[in-house]
């Protein structure tokens, strides 16, 4: 019995250390764009196959959120919360753009299954994920780190969230937009 407890403890410690290392190496060699900087330009395909360019949203607030993987629990909660608050984002003159390394087809399935109406952008070559310093990895698999950039109507980054906690994030972003619009 005592040996089993020690083995479980050892496994837990190894798992905790490896997750810490994964998180640290996920962003250690990247530079996040900073507040006040012009947001890096991009054009990516969305879930319907259309090409979406950041430039096309000039004059609007842009919530650019990076997330690890379609149809995973945390990513689903985060997407549902943005969808739940969609009308408030619309009223604030803001668009929501989610970005992951998944394909447009994966995004289409995710949007259909979860009833998502905002755009999810596919970046399987991680060009945009790299430009926003948001490439990470877990157990050797590359994925986007859970980061969000709020871009003002002039195209400048005005707020950055890293290591986002999904439960209240949508409300945090709405509050930031309201505060910045004052």
| 47 and 120 Cβ atoms separated by less than 8 Å | yes
Please indicate whether residue 129 or residue 137 has the higher confidence score (pLDDT). Answer: 129
Confidence at residue 29, expressed as pLDDT on a 0 to 100 scale: 54
User: What is the model's pTM?
Assistant: 0.83
CATH classification code of 31-181: 3.40.30.10
Residue 28 φ then ψ, to 5°: -65, -35
**Which residue has better confidence, 17 or 147?**
147
Residues annotated as catalytic (active site), given as ranges = 75
Give me the pLDDT at residue 2, please: 60
Token digits of residue 53? 């360019």
Per-residue pLDDT tens for 14-71?
343 333 333 333 444 578 999 999 999 999 999 999 999 999 999 999 999 999 999 8
Domain ranges across the chain: 31-181
């Amino acid at each position: 019995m005592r040996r089993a407890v020690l083995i479980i403890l050892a496994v837990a410690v190894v798992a905790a250390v490896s997750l810490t290392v994964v998180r640290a190496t996920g962003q250690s060699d990247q530079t996040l764009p900073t507040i006040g900087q012009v947001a890096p330009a991009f054009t990516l395909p969305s879930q319907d196959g259309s090409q979406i360019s950041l430039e096309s949203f000039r004059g609007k607030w842009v919530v650019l959120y990076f997330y690890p993987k379609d149809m995973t629990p945390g990513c689903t909660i985060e997407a549902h919360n943005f969808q739940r608050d969609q009308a408030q984002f619309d009223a604030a003159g803001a668009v929501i753009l989610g970005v992951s390394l998944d394909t447009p087809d994966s995004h289409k399935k995710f949007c259909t299954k979860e009833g998502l109406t905002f755009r999810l952008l596919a970046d399987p070559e991680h060009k945009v994920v790299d430009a926003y310093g948001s490439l990470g990895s877990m157990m050797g698999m590359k994925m986007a780190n859970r980061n969000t950039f709020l871009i003002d109507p002039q195209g400048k980054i005005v707020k950055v969230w890293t290591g986002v906690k999904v439960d209240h994030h949508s409300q945090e972003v709405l509050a930031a937009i309201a505060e910045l619009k004052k």
